[in-house]
Amino acid sequence: MKTLTYKYCFNASDSGDIKIAKSLILIISICCSFCGLVWSGIYYFFFGFGLTTLLPLIFVVIVISSIFISHFTSNYKILVYGQLVCITWVPGFIQWSLGSIHHSGFVIAWCFLGPIGALLFLNEKEARIWMVMFILILGITSIGVPTFSMDGLKVTENARTIFYLMNIGVPSAVIFSATAYFMKDLIKQKERNFSLLQITNEKNKEIEKSLKREKELGILKTNFVSMVSHEFRTPLATINANSDIILRYSDELSRDDINKRLEKIKSEVLDMTVMLEDILIIGKSDAQKLDFNPVSLDIVSLIKDIIAEYQLSEPKSRTIIFNVSTPIIMIPADKKWIKHIVNNLLSNAIKYSGEDQQIEISIKKEPTGISFSFKDYGVGISKEDIAMLFEPFYRGENVGEISGTGLGLVILQKALNLHKGKIEVESEIGKGSNFRVTLPAV
Ligand code: ADP
């Protein structure tokens, strides 16, 4: 029987819910038909052969044939409707043939399975129609005087008890155990489907994530190519032009002029080397290979040394105002990375402000460590740009002709992550910017 049920219910094209509905209706139909046979037998025992005995048999015939029809037409709704009609009307007729509700015991309770079944297999609107039909039958059989059979007159109290057991107890028990037996597999399958769905969802999320990463990498690549072609072209052109002039006109040029041109070439090569180093750091940090060796050091003198060194390499000097709260502040830090942070903040403050504008640097001891800020009175940064500053290759919309790679702050952020530090930016277009870095003491 189980094999038959599976053959009937498991069409490859059916969805999980349809399979469950089909299995349920099949189980209910078979159980009801079985009950119909018993039903008919018991009526025969009480009333002999007649309409009351025949009606449960009609029930069985209709239900069984609708099973076959719906199997061959692949339309299980035929079975649902066939079953509902039988459940609702056949007991109604039996009821009537027995002689109204007062004589038939609980046969009418069967009819109530109609609207309940409709609720299970159809939508709520259709189920309501079946409910109305049930009330109609109840009304007819309560009021109507039986015209085509008087079997009901013979029903005794004991017979009613037997009808009760037969119509309510037995089918309920049979349907319940049969459903439990068949549903076990279905529930297992549903759980399996559910866990498969969860796995698929997780896989989809992973795919989405890698697609996003792939997209980001694509953007990064495009930005990288345009940055390299832009930022390397100018120094290369300068190097090319100056070396050309030196080669061609070395006899006519003064020693001083040649030295200046060589200096220019050297500084452009240096700038390009820094750019290449930045790109290498970005590549390395993606693979999480950045080396970090913190040692306890005095951050105040370190920052001052880095700035002095930077100023030495800069041809034009700038007024830098220092504001230091404590002369010596010891924190664990990696000198190499602090140099990156300070050089970037200082070079940006110089780059993005006018030659006559001062830069203010404050170093403060904080309860949890140290903070230092670089304030300039330059071009400033818009709110929209501030939100994007730490994205690779991102540059503010107001940078104009000022050269840059959009990598400095990204590297700075990575250096801060290594130190478990943070950075805050305050800026207003045309008024200047203040970058404040906080580093913990431990
Ligand atoms: P780069 O300066 O090479 O473009 P950075 O990563 O150092 O790259 O800076 C990213 C962007 O942040 C810059 O292009 C600029 O738009 C903005 N920015 C950074 N510092 C300042 C500053 N002090 N004043 C104005 N804009 C700044």
The residue type at 46: F
The Å distance, Cα 424 to ligand 1 centre, comes to 14
Pocket probe for ligand 1: among 231, 275, 279, 352, the residue whose CB has the most ligand atoms within 8 Å is: 352
pLDDT over 90 for what percent of the chain?
37
pLDDT score of 185: 67
- pLDDT-derived band at 384, boundaries 50, 70, 90: very high
pLDDT at position 170 over 70: no
CA angle 233, 238, 242 (to 5 degrees): 150
The Å distance, Cα 31 to ligand 1 centre, comes to 79
- What number of other Cβ atoms are within 10 A of residue 398's Cβ? 15
Give the mean model confidence (pLDDT) for residues 105-128. Answer: 73
Give the mean model confidence (pLDDT) for residues 371-376. Answer: 97
Give the least confident one: 145-149, 201-205, 233-237. 145-149
Higher pLDDT, 81 or 11: 81
Burial of 49: CB neighbours in 10 Å, binned 0-12, 13-18, 19+: exposed
Binding pocket residue ranges, ligand 1, CB within 6 Å = 344, 348-349, 352, 376, 378-381, 389, 395-396, 399, 404-409, 433
pLDDT score of 144: 59
pLDDT score of 72: 82
pLDDT at position 163 over 80: no
Q: Name the phi and psi angles at 428, rounded to 5.
A: -140, 135
Q: Distance between CA atoms of 349 and 433, rounded to whole angstroms?
A: 8
pLDDT at position 109 over 50: yes
Q: Which atom of ligand 1 is nearest to the CA of 399?
A: 16
- pLDDT-derived band at 294, boundaries 50, 70, 90: very high
Give the least confident one: 72-86, 131-145, 286-300, 363-377. 131-145
pLDDT at position 167 over 80: no
Q: Distance between CA atoms of 430 and 376, rounded to whole angstroms?
A: 11
Q: Which atom of ligand 1 is nearest to the CA of 404?
A: 3
- pLDDT-derived band at 93, boundaries 50, 70, 90: confident
Pocket probe for ligand 1: among 226, 277, 379, 395, the residue whose CB has the most ligand atoms within 8 Å is: 395
Give the least confident one: 2-11, 202-211, 248-257, 286-295. 2-11
Structure tokens belonging to residue 319: 């007024």
The Å distance, Cα 346 to ligand 1 centre, comes to 11
Q: Whose CA is nearest to atom 16 of ligand 1?
A: 396
pLDDT score of 153: 46
The Å distance, Cα 388 to ligand 1 centre, comes to 11
Structure tokens belonging to residue 161: 């008890």
